[in-house]
Amino acid sequence: MIAERFREQFRADPQVLASAPGRVNLIGEHTDYNDGFVLPMAIDRRIHVALSSRSDSDINVVAEAFPARSGSYERYVEAVVAELRGTHALPGANLLIAGDVPIAAGLASSSALELAVARGLCELAGISWDPLTMARLAQRAENERVGVQCGIMDQISASCSRRGSAMLLDCRSLDLAYVDLADEVAIVVMDTGTRRGLGETAYNDRRAACERVVNVIRRVAPDVRALRDVSASLLKEAASLLEPVDLARASHVVHENQRPGALVQALSAFDYRAAGDVMNQSHASLRDLYDVSSLHLDIICEAARAHPACYGARMTGAGFGGCAIALVRSADSSSFISQVQPQYESHSYKRSDFFVVSPDEGARLEPRVRQNR
* Residue 338 to residue 371: CA distance in whole angstroms: 40
- The pLDDT score that the predictor gives to residue 118 is 98
Q: What is the value of pTM for the model shown?
A: 0.93
In angstroms, the CA 104 to CA 1 distance is 24
- Number of Cβ within 10 Å of residue 239's Cβ equals 12
pLDDT surpassing 70 at residue 190: yes
Mean residue pLDDT across the chain = 94
pLDDT interval class at 248 (50, 70, 90) = very high
Which residues is 359 bridged to in the sheet?
43
- In whole angstroms, give the CA distance from residue 276 to residue 151: 25
Query: 323-329 and 310-315: which strand pairing?
Result: antiparallel
Q: Which of left, alpha, beta for 126 (phi over 0: left; psi -120 to 50: alpha)?
A: left
Strand pairing report for 185-191 and 323-329: antiparallel
The predicted pLDDT at position 105 comes to 86
How many Cβ atoms are within 10 Å of 105's Cβ, its own excluded? 22
pLDDT band at 201 (very low <50, low <70, confident <90, very high): low
Query: Which residues are annotated as catalytic?
Result: 154
Residue type, 313: A
Instruction: Give Cβ neighbours of residue 325 (< 8 Å, ≥ 6 apart).
Output: 24, 26, 187, 188, 189, 190, 279, 313, 314, 316
Contacts of 303 (CB under 8 A, 6+ apart): 340, 343, 344, 347
